[in-house]
Amino acid sequence: MDIHDLPELVLVEILCRVPCGKFIFQCKCVCKRWLTLISAPYFIDRFLRLQSHRKTPTVRTLISRNAEELFNRVSLSEVLTPMLKRLESFDHLETEPVVVGAYNDLILCCDSLFDQHNYYICNPYTMQWVALPPTPTRCYDIVRVGLICDSPYYEEDDPNGHVIQLNAKFRCKVVRILPPDRQFVFDHDEYCFNFNVEIFSFETGKWSELVVSSPRGISYDYLDAMAFSYNGVLYWSGHDYGYFLVLGFDPFNDNSSTSTSSGCSNGGDIIDHKCRFVVFAMPVADHFVVECLGVCGGLLRMCDFDSDTKTLFVWDLKRQDHDYMVKGAGELCLSKHNVYSFDQDMYPDDARVVERLSFDPNNEDIFYLYVDADVIMCNIRTRKWSKIVEKRKLNNFYFFPFTLPWWPTPVPSLPQHAHQLAHGGETSS
């Protein structure tokens, strides 16, 4: 008997046992029948229940700005670039796309690291993408940008994993913090208490312009360009004169009841309401240059690496849980602070290039370093280390967490009126 002659229920049980959602989406290309079958809610529900019953581990990796995976040594740009060049607004592209944000298996890309004006979101494993309308403001500097969704595409309602519910109405937003206007700069130290922020919402299909206040004066230049999401909040790390800073912003904490909105010439909205950043600041020695490397072990983790002494300083932060705290960018507190010394033989003292890469998203004890074209994996507790990649040139040392959930996250759809603004950026798959 041919597999195409099998009843649908039998075929579902066979296809549901494909190892992961990435391969499931490849099966969609076999024929129209399989495409219809795999796209049905019953199939998705059955597939997720089997993954839950098996306790299938979630696959996590890291990708760089040039869309290169650290672990699998696979360049996602081979997938991203052909998709990007299909868009009318990116038909001038001569270089590979730049990854500027990630959330689970969704990637936020731009055609340039500087002069970010045209963005698109894609899922490289499902080959789905959508181009956003151009930003209201053209900024030639590197902007602070992040991608965030308010909830997973699917979630378990029961602690035992018996009930899985799809969230087809999950929300997704892009946040840009722009360089401050001179009117917002405080005194001569270029500290700023108010920032121009642009937020793209898929619900409206528009960019909104906000002025967001900060309880502490911050120098924009000391904020890291990379953002990380943690508990529904986007965070940027920074440092400033003996302090390390974490700037948090919740774009879903809507104060629309106190907001006023007016149209602007580019079709977006200017929203004036009581949004604000939340800032965590803690003093450290002047020589520290602390970076936020993302979420690890359920905590927001920051670190500094002293290459001279081969010492790693790690700060773990968590959100304070208070009954009175409303949803949004709640206060951060220091969970723990550890200092780890590395094996003195891990790399030679005369190493020309020593760069910290990231913590392993699957194991909070594993830390990666880049030393003279070698990628070194080190266990910070046991001090055991090994070279996992030799003689590999990395063009970028910024790595975003990239997660392959059981079922791939669909790329959000734009409202119909936003397609024209996106210059031919109609959703494709």
User: What percent of the chain lies above the pLDDT cut of 90?
Assistant: 14
Q: Are residues 21 and 169 in the same domain?
A: no
Q: Are residues 61 and 46 in the same domain?
A: no
Q: Assign 147 a pLDDT band (cuts: 50, 70, 90).
A: very high
Of residues 253 and 8, more confidence is placed in: 8
Confirm if 208 and 268 have CB atoms less than 8 A apart: yes
Q: Are residues 69 and 52 in the same domain?
A: no
Average pLDDT over the chain, rounded to whole?
78
The stretch 131-140 carries a mean pLDDT of 88
Two tokens at 198? 């642009």
Q: Are residues 16 and 160 in the same domain?
A: no
Query: Looking at the predicted structure, is the pLDDT value of residue 116 above 80?
Result: yes
Q: Assign 264 a pLDDT band (cuts: 50, 70, 90).
A: very low
Confirm if 203 and 150 have CB atoms less than 8 A apart: no
Q: Are residues 415 and 368 in the same domain?
A: yes
For residue 27, which phi and psi values (nearest 5 degrees)?
Answer: -65, -20
> Total domain count for the chain?
2
Q: Are residues 80 and 127 in the same domain?
A: yes
Query: Looking at the predicted structure, is the pLDDT value of residue 358 above 50?
Result: yes
Cα dihedral 83, 88, 90, 96 sign: positive
Query: Looking at the predicted structure, is the pLDDT value of residue 427 above 50?
Result: no
Domain assignment of residue 429, yes or no: no
Judged by DSSP in three states, 134 sits in coil
Q: Are residues 47 and 63 in the same domain?
A: no
Q: What local confidence, expressed as pLDDT, does residue 189 receive?
A: 55
Q: Are residues 148 and 30 in the same domain?
A: no
Two tokens at 322? 């208070």
Q: Are residues 323 and 236 in the same domain?
A: yes
Q: How far apart are CA 243 and CA 287, in angstroms?
A: 10
Of residues 136 and 125, more confidence is placed in: 136
Query: Looking at the predicted structure, is the pLDDT value of residue 190 above 70?
Result: yes
Query: Looking at the predicted structure, is the pLDDT value of residue 274 above 60?
Result: no
Q: What is the DSSP string of 144-173?
A: EEEEEESS-SEEESSTTS--EEE-TT--EE
Q: What local confidence, expressed as pLDDT, does residue 40 receive?
A: 87
User: What percent of the chain lies above the pLDDT cut of 70?
Assistant: 78
Q: Assign 108 a pLDDT band (cuts: 50, 70, 90).
A: very high
Question: What domain range includes position 271?
Answer: 57-421
Domain assignment of residue 14, yes or no: yes
User: How does pLDDT run across 318-336, given as a tens digit for each residue?
Assistant: 877 544 333 444 578 888 8
Say which CATH number the domain at 129 has: 2.120.10
Q: Assign 270 a pLDDT band (cuts: 50, 70, 90).
A: very low
Query: Looking at the predicted structure, is the pLDDT value of residue 9 above 60?
Result: yes
Q: How far apart are CA 41 and CA 30, in angstroms?
A: 19
Q: How far apart are CA 269 and CA 157, in angstroms?
A: 36
The stretch 107-117 carries a mean pLDDT of 86
Q: What local confidence, expressed as pLDDT, does residue 425 receive?
A: 42
Q: What local confidence, expressed as pLDDT, does residue 429 receive?
A: 43
Q: How far apart are CA 411 and CA 264, in angstroms?
A: 27
Q: Are residues 29 and 113 in the same domain?
A: no
Query: Looking at the predicted structure, is the pLDDT value of residue 181 above 80?
Result: no
Query: Looking at the predicted structure, is the pLDDT value of residue 186 above 60?
Result: no
User: How does pLDDT run across 62-107, given as a tens digit for each residue?
Assistant: 888 888 777 665 556 555 655 555 555 555 545 567 899 999 999 9
Q: Are residues 242 and 336 in the same domain?
A: yes
Q: What local confidence, expressed as pLDDT, does residue 102 receive?
A: 93
Q: Are residues 245 and 333 in the same domain?
A: yes
